[in-house]
Amino acid sequence: MNHRKIFIAVAVAVSMYSSSLIALAEQKAFYTTEDAYVSASKLMYDYNEGSVYQVYVQLGHVTDISLHPNEKLVGVLAGDTERWNIETASVDSTVHVYVKPKFADIGTNFIINTDKRSYRLAVSSADTYNPVISWDYPEEMYRKLANAEVYQNREEKEFLDIFTEKVDGRYVAKTMNYSYETKGSKKADAALFPRKVFDDGTRTYIRMPKSNKYDLPVLYNIESTDKEKLTLVNYRIHGAYFIADRVFTHARLYYSANVYVDIYPKKEESSLPKISAGGDAQ
């Protein structure tokens, strides 16, 4: 039996409003660079109040922290101020905070306060760096869409039907469960792994990377009492998402006998990653 399905079609890219609404529903305590997306030289995070964002800097380089346009800087605080160069500037009504380490292999936390928001960063000096850090602001997009009475297109209305629900005549974000992890077979390429998996208690949403446009897997449910028993599960494609009408305790994206990715509920994480404290001058 041929389990491999190849579709010669390009998947529709996820629009900006979809990613923003998902980010509003998912508010993690700590965001790593893997949670961000790249736009030119920028590493873009979705802003959530109270979250901490990972930033990599490098000795001999400056990282530009770019804030929301029209915000006014109140102050920049750091756990360690002696081993870091910190400067600020305003460019076309946008505040920029420039961070440069004086030593290699050091780390600290930054809190950047403006008249509207607080940005909390976990900054580490490493052998690579993020040239520019910036944010999208999901709550702004959500307020715009939540009050909209006329939708621009069918896809926008369909997305809101999936990821929001009406309460007292207003659209509010559904409560989503993002606690999933993945594990692939030895021959599973990184492009075959989901970027994100979550459920709303009824359906499971599997977000695939843009690089995986043609190679679509078969989706199986694996029984908890019999790992050899695989049950085929139908799914539909919405933009970059595979949507299955069920919730899983163990699912498998099957590409071939030796190439597959398993999806499990994530184990509870008890603490934030540690920040390196040491360092040597160079």
* All domains in the chain, ordered by first residue: 30-136 (2.60.40), 139-173 (no CATH), 180-265 (2.60.40.2500)
Residue 152 has a pLDDT of 62
User: Each residue of 36-73: pLDDT tens digit?
Assistant: 888 778 999 989 888 999 999 999 999 999 999 999 99
Measured from the Cβ of residue 256, the count of other Cβ atoms closer than 10 Å reads 15
Mean pLDDT for the chain overall: 82
- Give dist(CA 89, CA 234) in Å, integer: 53
Please give the C-alpha separations between residue 114 and each of 9, 87, 259, in angstroms, as whole numbers.
Answer: 45, 15, 48
Strand partners, 58: none
Structure-model confidence comparison of residues 244 and 141, the more confident one: 244
Q: What share of the chain in percent tops pLDDT 70?
A: 77
Cα three-residue angle 22-137-202, rounded to 5 degrees? 10
Residue 143 has a pLDDT of 63
Residue 141 has a pLDDT of 66
Contact between 93 and 135 (Cβ < 8 Å)? no
Residue 6 has a pLDDT of 27
pTM of the model: 0.55
DSSP string, the chain: ----EE--SPPPPPPHHHHHHHHHH---SEE-GGGSEEETTEEEEE--TT-EEEEEE-TT--EEEEEEET--EEEEEES--TTEEEEEEEETTEEEEEEEESSBS-EEEEEEEESS-EEEEEEEE-SS--SEEEEE-HHHHHHHHHT-SS-SSHHHHHHHHHHEEEETTEEEEPP-B--EEEEE-TT--GGGS-SEEEE-SS-EEEEPPTT-SSEEPEEEEE-SS-TT-EEE--EEEETTEEEESS--SSEEEEEETTEEEEEEEPPP--SPPPPP---B--
Q: What share of the chain in percent tops pLDDT 90?
A: 53
Residue 35 has a pLDDT of 83
Contact between 164 and 21 (Cβ < 8 Å)? yes
Task: Find, among 109, 103, 112, 102, the residue nearest to 134 by Cα.
Answer: 112
Q: Identify the sign of the CA torsion 101, 273, 271, 174.
A: positive
User: Each residue of 220-276: pLDDT tens digit?
Assistant: 999 888 878 899 999 998 877 899 999 999 999 999 999 999 999 987 654 455 565
